[in-house]
Amino acid sequence: MFKIQGSESCCNSSEHVVTPVPGHSALVLSQAAAPYVDSENGISFWGITDAAHGVTYGHVFPPLATSGAQPTEYIGEIVAPVANKWVGFSMSGSMISSLLIAAWPNNGNIVFTTRYATSNVLPDVYTGPVITTLPSSHVNSTHWKWVYRCQNCTTWKNGGSIDVNSTSSVPAWCASTIAVDNPANPATTMVQHTDFGFYFFPFGTAHVSAALYNNWAAGGTGGTLNLLLYNFPSARNRRHWRWLLIIDHHYQRGPTNTNGNSVMILLQISSFSAHMLLSVDYIIVGSGPGGIIAADRISQAGKSVLLLERGGPSTGETGGTYQANWTKGTNLTKFDVPGLFESMFTDANDFWWCKDITVFAGCLVGGGTSVNGALYWLPSDNDFALSAGWPSQWTNHQQYTSMLKARLPPTDAPSTDGKRYLEQVSTVVANMLIPQGYRNVTINDSPNAKDHVYGYAAYDFIGGQRGGPVASYLRTAKARKNFQLQMYTNVLNVVRNGSQITGVKTNDTSVKDGFFPLNPNGRVILSGGTFGSARLLFRSGIGPTDMINLVKNDPVAGPNLPPSSQWINLPVGYNAYNPSINMVFTHPTVDSYNNWATVFTDPPAADAAQYLKNRSGIMAQASPRLNFWSALGGSDGTTRWLQGTARPGAASITTTLPYNMRRSNLHYNRISVVGIKSRGRIGINAALNGVPLVNPWLNDAGDKSALIQGLKNIISTVPQVSGLQLIMPDNTMTMEQYVAAYDPSTMNSNHWVGSNIIGTSAGQAVVDVNTKVFGTNNLFVVDASIIPTLPYGNPHGHIMSVAEQAAAKILALAGGP
C-alpha cells in the first residue's frame, strides 16, 4: 500500500481468512470477512486474519441511517505478531485516491498514520480523519493490538468514499517486515510493503445498534454478536453439503465484562450469503474457462461442486467493483467494458495479473477470459486432428463445439446498434491482402477455411459487454444449490495417499490445516492454466524430479509433499508452446484512437456517453478489427500457418521511424505461426514462481524460415496501397535481421498451451484420454495446458470446446461419485 517507487498497487489476489488469534475467539463462516468477538473487550467485529502473516483486521460500524447521510465512522482493530513491523489497509481496496491507514508498535505504544496518494509514490500525510485509540490496545512480547475509533473515515478528499451499505466491498491489507524509518514519528518515511492482498467485506451487514456502538466508542466493553446466514440447503441436498459453525466454548458459557457481569451471545439468523461447502463430489481449482465450464456441466449432472478461485471478482455480476470514473453509478467494471481491453496492460493498479507467474496470467474470476481481447474462433476439424497431437477419442469434436456455440454464440458486430467502429484498419489491411489472393469470409461460418482468408474479428461479447463463460456457464452454475464458488482461496497442493486424492490443501485456515476433503469417490480437477496447473502438480509430487526437489527444499511447501516413494515422474512443463511477433504500419486514414492510452481514465466524452446509453460504439468492441490466415511452406517440407491480427493502435510501440501520434494514423499487426515444431519448457524457480525455463520461440530452423517468409509475404504488397508505410521493422533492417533481433520476452502472445499434454502414454503425456493424470485415480486437468498444439485461431474458443468434451468424458468415467 505504501511505497516509494514502482507501479505495484495495494490490490492483488491473496489469502483472506478468519482464524482464532491470541486473545481472540473467532466465529468462522467463510473466506470473506466473518463476525467474531474480541474476548478482551467484547466488541463484535467483522474481519479476517490473513493466513500469510497472522494479522487480524476487524471493523464494525454504527447503525445505517433510514434517511439522510450514512455513518462516516467505524471502530476498527488490528492484531499483529511482532514480526510485522507495520501493517495497514485501504477500505476502498486501492492505494491511489483513497484513505490509507497504517500502524506499528513503538516503546510499548501504538503509532498510527493516515495517508493519501495520487500516484504510485510514498503517500502524503492526510489530516482529515480523527482517530482515537481505545483502552484495550496493547503491546506484548508476541503481539500488538490496536483498537481505535476512526471518525471522518468513510469519505475523504476528491469525492472518495466507501459504501457502508454495500454487501460486496473489497478492502485491501498490507504488511511489512521492514520497520519504518522513524517509528516515533507518524509522518515518517517508509519503504514499500512486503506483502498485500484484498478480501470481501459486507460493509452493509457489519453494523450494530447505536447503544452498542456508542458504548464501545467510549471505551466500554461487552455486547451482542449477530450471526447472519442464509441459503442453508434443504434436507434433500444435505448429503452433498457439510456446514461449519464454530463458536468458542468460552462464549457459549458467556464471557464477563469489566464489571464481572455475564454477557449473552445472541445468534440471529438473518440474510447474508456466507456459507461453506466442506465435503463435495468435485473440487475444481481455478475459475478460468476450463474450470467454469467443467463446474457448470458437472453440477448440471447433479454432482456437488466446489469451485475454488485464488483471486477475486471481475465483472459486476461476480461482485467486481473496479470501475473507471466514467462508469460510476453503473454496475460496469473494467472487466465488463470491451473497449477497456488495452488498458489491462497499462493500468498501474493491475491486481488481476498473477504476481507469482512471470508471464501474463489472470488471477480472478474468469481467468484470462475476463482480461483478454475475447477473440473467439470456433475450432476447426484440424484443431482436433491426430496430426495436431490429439488422441483419436477427441477427433469428433463437433458435438461439443456445437454445444459451446449454442451457449455462447460468437459475433463479429458486438455493438448493439449492429455497426462496426474504427474499421479503417480493416479496409487498409484488406487492400494489402487481396492482391496476395486472400478472400473475405465470415470466419466462424467456415471454421475449416484457414488459407488465404480474412474477415472481421469475432468475439464472445454479449449485448455490448464482456460475455464469455462468466456470463453464460457460471451464471447457470451459480443458480444451483449443489454449486459453490469460493474466491480468495489459493490451493497449495492436492492431498494424496499414493494414487488416491483425498482433497486439497489451501491457504484457508478457517478450516483445519486448510484442508478441503472430497466425498467418497470424489474427484479433483485442476483448471489453473498452463502455468498454474503445472505448479500444482509439482507441489503435489507429480512431474520431473528437478521441479519436485525445488518444492522439497521450500520450508513451507516441502512438508506438504508426499514421500519420495510416491512421487510420479511425468513430463509436466514440457511441450510449452506460444509464439508471436509484431509489425507496425501507418496510414493517413487510420484512427489509432490515441493508442487506447486514455480509454480508462478519460475516453472521448461522446464515445463514453454512447456506450453508457445503449452499449454501442467504440467501447463495445476490443481493439482487434481484422484477422487473416495463410498456409506456409517450410524448408523441411512441413506446412505451417500464419495467423494475423490487425488493430488500430496498441498499448505499446517501439520504432525508430517518426510517425504522427497526434494525428493518430497508426495501425498494428500481431503475427503468429501455428503448426510449428518449436517447443519450450516451463517450470518453477526456487521461490516456486511459475517461469519459462526454455523459451518456445523459433528454436526450430524450419519454423523460423516459415515465419520470415510469411512476414515477407505480408509486406510484399505494401507499395500497392497508397499511403501505407511499414515502420516496425523500419527501412534500415531486413526481415531476417528483424526476426533475429526480436526480443524473445516480447514474443509472448499469452497463448501458452501444452505443459500437461494429453496423450495415450505416461512416458509422452501427463493426462490420459479422459484428462486424468497418469498414476492417479481421481485427479484431472481441464485447461489450456492439456492442448498438444496451438489451434489455428486464438485458443479462447478452443479451450472452451475442450472443456465441454472433457466434462462429458469425466462424468462418463466409471468409479466416480
DSSP characters over 218-230:
TT-----PPP---
The C-alpha cell that represents 788 in the structure block: 498438444
Which residues are CB-neighbours of 68 under 8 A, at least 6 positions away? none
**What SS3 state is found at 429?**
helix
Give which of 783, 813, 802 is closest to 368, Cα–Cα: 783
Helices (H), 210-335: 210-217, 249-253, 289-300
Contact 79, 56 (CB under 8 A): yes
**775/221 Cα distance (integer angstroms):** 57
**16/81 Cα distance (integer angstroms):** 17
Q: Which residues pair with 87 in a beta bridge?
A: 103, 175
**187/226 Cα distance (integer angstroms):** 38
Residue given cell 520431473 in the structure block? 544
**What SS3 state is found at 694?**
strand
What letter does residue 702 receive in the DSSP assignment? H
Residue given cell 469451485 in the structure block? 307
Contact 665, 586 (CB under 8 A): yes
What letter does residue 58 receive in the DSSP assignment? E
Give which of 261, 86, 271 is closest to 176, Cα–Cα: 86
**525/543 Cα distance (integer angstroms):** 17
**447/385 Cα distance (integer angstroms):** 14
Which residues are CB-neighbours of 413 under 8 A, at least 6 positions away? 419, 420, 456
Task: Determine how many CB atoms are found less than 10 A away from the CB of residue 406.
Answer: 8
**Maximum Cα–Cα distance across the chain:** 92
**695/243 Cα distance (integer angstroms):** 46
The one catalytic residue among 143, 587, 667, 751: 751
Residue 387 burial class via C-beta count within 10 angstroms: exposed 0-12, middle 13-18, buried 19 and up: exposed
Beta strands in 443-526 (DSSP E): 453-456, 483-486, 491-497, 500-506, 515-526
Residue 204 vs residues 29, 37, 163, 201, 435: alpha-carbon distances, Å: 17, 18, 8, 9, 63
What letter does residue 119 receive in the DSSP assignment? S
Give which of 272, 279, 214, 271 is closest to 242, Cα–Cα: 279
Contact 11, 94 (CB under 8 A): yes
Helices (H), 144-273: 210-217, 249-253
The C-alpha cell that represents 278 in the structure block: 466442506
Region of 177 on the Ramachandran plot (φ > 0 left; ψ -120 to 50 alpha; else beta): alpha
Q: Catalytic residue at 751? A: yes
What letter does residue 577 receive in the DSSP assignment? B
**684/691 Cα distance (integer angstroms):** 5
Give which of 470, 466, 465, 467 is closest to 611, Cα–Cα: 465
The C-alpha cell that represents 668 in the structure block: 498494428
Task: Determine how many CB atoms are found less than 10 A away from the CB of residue 606.
Answer: 10
Residue given cell 461419485 in the structure block? 817
**352/368 Cα distance (integer angstroms):** 9
DSSP characters over 509-543:
TTSGGGEEEEEEEEEEEE-SHHHHHHHHHHHTTBS
**425/593 Cα distance (integer angstroms):** 12
- Catalytic residue numbers read 751
